[in-house]
Amino acid sequence: MNRIEKKEMASDAAVYFKEEVLGLMPDIPRKELCDLVDDYIYYQTDDLSRKEADAVVQATCRLSIP
C-alpha cells in the first residue's frame, strides 16, 4: 500500500482498504476490521492525528457495517 499523501484522501483510502480486507476475510469481526482500518489510516497518512483517524473510521467503517 502506498502512503496517503493528503488528509483529504483518507476517507477514500479507508473505504478501499476496508473493502480489500473484507474481500480477503469476509467473516472478520467488525471491531477487528475497524481497528485495522484505523491503524492503516493513522500510520499511512502524513500529519494525521489519532483523533482525525478515528473520525475517518467512524465515517467510513463503523457506520457502514450492520
For residue 47, what are the domain limits?
7-64
Nearest-angstrom CA–CA distance, 51 and 24: 27
Nearest-angstrom CA–CA distance, 21 and 35: 12
Give the predicted TM-score (pTM) of the model: 0.82
Residue 1, in any domain of the structure: no
Residue 25, in any domain of the structure: yes
Contacts of 18 (CB under 8 A, 6+ apart): 33, 37, 60, 61, 64
Residue 58, in any domain of the structure: yes
pLDDT tens-digit series, residues 37-62: 999 999 998 888 889 988 988 888 76
For the segment 25-37, the average pLDDT, to the nearest whole number, is 92
